[in-house]
């Protein structure tokens, strides 16, 4: 089945550690996105990539890094520089064909312990 997969579903990180969230899609989509969602709040864009080997900062990129070495994969690293990383992280992808929608993964809940 085509779709977008995030792993793990739950992740715990000690303060001062970097952690990487996985996002894989088999929809042949060019564009991929990372959003952060805090309780009771909407989605805030962290990074997005419209093509392999290229990505742009979103509204809250500080403390995060990404790579896009393959079309299917867009991992997000939450670095120790991110002061408040506990949140729900959502990955999405969309095609380049006009009128496409964004497809979302099931999310990763990151908790700093």
Partner 1 sequence: GEDVEQSLFLSVREGDSSVINCTYTDSSSTYLYWYKQEPGAGLQLLTYIFSNMDMKQDQRLTVLLNKKDKHLSLRIADTQTGDSAIYFCAESRNGQNFVFGPGTRLSVLP
Q: Give the Å distances, CA to CA, from 28 to 9, 65, 70.
A: 23, 23, 11
User: Does residue 102 interact with partner 1 by CB under 8 A?
Assistant: yes
Structure token pair of residue 5: 């997969």
Count how many residues are written for the chain. Answer: 113
User: Does residue 105 interact with partner 1 by CB under 8 A?
Assistant: yes
User: Does residue 39 interact with partner 1 by CB under 8 A?
Assistant: no
Shortest Cβ 50–partner 1 spacing (Å) = 6
User: Which position among 36, 72, 94, 110 is part of the footprint of partner 1 (CB under 8 A)?
Assistant: 94
Residue 46 φ/ψ region, left for φ over 0, alpha for ψ in the -120 to 50 degree band, beta for the rest: alpha
- Give the bridge partners for 59, in sequence order: none
Shortest Cβ 80–partner 1 spacing (Å) = 26
Q: Could you list the residues that contact partner 1 (CB under 8 A)?
A: 6, 31, 33, 35, 40-43, 48, 50, 88, 90, 92, 94-107, 109
């Amino acid at each position: 089945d085509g779709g977008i997969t995030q792993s793990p579903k739950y992740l715990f990180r000690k303060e001062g550690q970097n952690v990487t969230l996985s996002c894989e899609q088999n929809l042949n989509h060019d564009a991929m996105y990372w959003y952060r969602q805090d309780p009771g709040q909407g989605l805030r864009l962290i990074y997005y990539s419209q093509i392999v080997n290229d990505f742009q900062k979103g509204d809250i990129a500080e403390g995060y890094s990404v790579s896009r070495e393959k079309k299917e994969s867009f991992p997000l690293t939450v670095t120790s520089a991110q002061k408040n990383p506990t949140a729900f992280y959502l990955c999405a992808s969309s095609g380049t064909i006009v009128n496409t929608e964004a497809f979302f993964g099931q999310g990763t809940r990151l908790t700093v312990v």
